[in-house]
Amino acid sequence: MPTTPLVLVRPPSPRLAEGELTHLDRVPVDPALAREQWQGYVAAFTARGWDVVEVEEAPEHADGVFVEDTVVVFDRLAVLTSPGAESRRGEVSGTEAALRRLAADGVDLEVVRITEPGHLDGGDVLKVGDVVYVGRGGRTDDEGIRQLTAYVEPLGRRVVVVPVAKVLHLKSGVTALPDGTVVGYEPLVDDPGAFPSFLPVPEEHGTAVVDLGGGAVIMSADAPRTAELYRSRGLEVVTVPISEFEALEGCVTCLSVRVR
């Protein structure tokens, strides 16, 4: 069985600028710059020893690059989602195909799914130790949460439901540092008190981090004060420009799924 950490990504569609928007006004998005930024993002993982697995490109899906929304991985269990936006439901099949290929290549994975009438976006799921915070909002509903709970409680995980109204997904507002501290830009967090350890950050685009392992995190280059805050806590911070994805309510977490 492969032991190198794996990360799933999907190249951006040339139709990226047509992606769904909920809380932001539409602004011009440069597909060529988006691809360049995506390549820089992927390079940050390869530089850290991650094996990158590309989900097959899906030009017809404007939001397909936000692969996080299509699957949530808990150890060896991969839960395919049922996206809340109808336009995004076709994205899941490509992610499933990539996971099936990994399993055929020896990666120990069990693949299950959220089914209709339930809806759940991976961006609404934040794992902190054994606690699974799930945002109930515009893309994730009670039935989707019920099905996820049935999958993960037997694994010893505890699901905690939190409200999401100010941002698109839970992880648009909060993520977690490697030590389990939940971080977020407080004006965009519906209930900071839902998290036992919450650290407010000074910039909106500083809310999202991805754990690269070895005490390093990747985050947006558009939050320099927040980067310094994280460095003061002993983290190595890798910053990448992702402006074209932020214009579409995306962040560094949306662009990948880690498979341990």
Residues making up the binding site: 21, 63, 68-69, 88, 139, 248
216-220 vs 236-240, strand pairing mode: parallel
Residue with tokens 């402006």: 243
Catalytic residue of the set 119, 205, 251, 254: 254
**Sequence-separated (6 or more) residues with CB below 8 Å from residue 234:** 215
Distance CA 183, CA 154 (A): 28
Locate 75 and state its tokens.
Answer: 């150890």
Has 251 been annotated as catalytic?
Answer: no
Locate 87 and state its tokens.
Answer: 């336009």
Catalytic residue of the set 61, 169, 205, 251: 169
Has 61 been annotated as catalytic?
Answer: no
Catalytic residues: 169, 254
